[in-house]
Amino acid sequence: NFPSTEANPDIIPGIPTVSKDVTVNEETKVWARIFRPNKLPSNDNTVVRLPIVFYFHVEHRLAPEHRLPTQYEDAIDTILWVKKQVLDPQGERWLRDYGDFTRCYLGGRGSGGNIAFHAAIKAADHDIKPLNINGIFLNQPMFGGKERLPSELKYATDQLIPLPVLDLLWELALPKATDRDHRYCNPMQDAVYKSKVSSLGRCLVISFDMDPMFDRVQAFVQMLVAEKVQVDARFDIVGFHNIDIVDTQRAQAILNIIKEFII
């Protein structure tokens, strides 16, 4: 049983946000939690609209029962659900009244960063107007490949994600009969996918030197730069994969970087 926190649609003293849970897709049971600040900024007594941030910790379907690209499809469903709300006069009020649908951002950490990247690529194949994706932010995104890179070999026995664990995760998540050079795992190896990267716009990438996937992320950034994507890469020599889970000071620093990127 994983710990969970209930949504709080009513203001609670000491908590700066309110939240509510919504069903994105009745058939797949995918749901999301919407957050908004208690104190909404205003200008001349008019509420200032806030950017809409899709953070992919959405309650999507999981592997191995549901292999990739199921999770990307759930992400696209979420984007299209938000589009429906802003177009529907009876749509979700928090999005209609407070969201700036011309300023949408996709992001996530680890596998969520992988989902954000692929969802942004796939969104170009859908009519999401009037939504506009201004950029993506990827915190320690999860990528891989058949070839062992130096950082993977250096941290092959990493306590959190040693190489056998990474290999198993990809084996359980990737489509059957594929390997770790599949575009879902290693987009740097897919020429067709690389040709679509230029549509991403701005991209923030955060990684740490002690992450076994550090060299993967560097190669990913090099691909973005080669495809003329506007990249803000933040690499730190001190830190490891999922450091923001155990280091609250570092978590706040990462949050501040993302906030600056979105604002």
> Is position 130 within any domain?
yes
Here the CATH number for the domain that contains residue 57 is 3.40.50.1820
The single-letter code of the amino acid at 95 is: L
The pTM score is: 0.95
* Whole-number Cα distances in Å, 221 to 87, 188, 228: 35, 10, 11
Residue 1 lies in a domain: no
DSSP assignment of 121-180 equals HHHTTS--TT--EEEEEEES-----SSPPHHHHHTTT-SSS-HHHHHHHHHHHSPTT--T
pLDDT score for 76? 98
Report the domain count for the chain.
Answer: 1
Using one digit for the tens of pLDDT, what is the confidence trace for 208-251? 999 999 999 999 999 999 999 999 999 998 888 988 988 999 99
Residue 138 placed within a domain: yes
Q: Which of 43, 39, 45, 48 is nearest to 15 (CA)?
A: 39
pLDDT in tens, 128-147: 999 999 999 999 999 999 99
- Domain membership of residue 54 as a residue range: 17-262
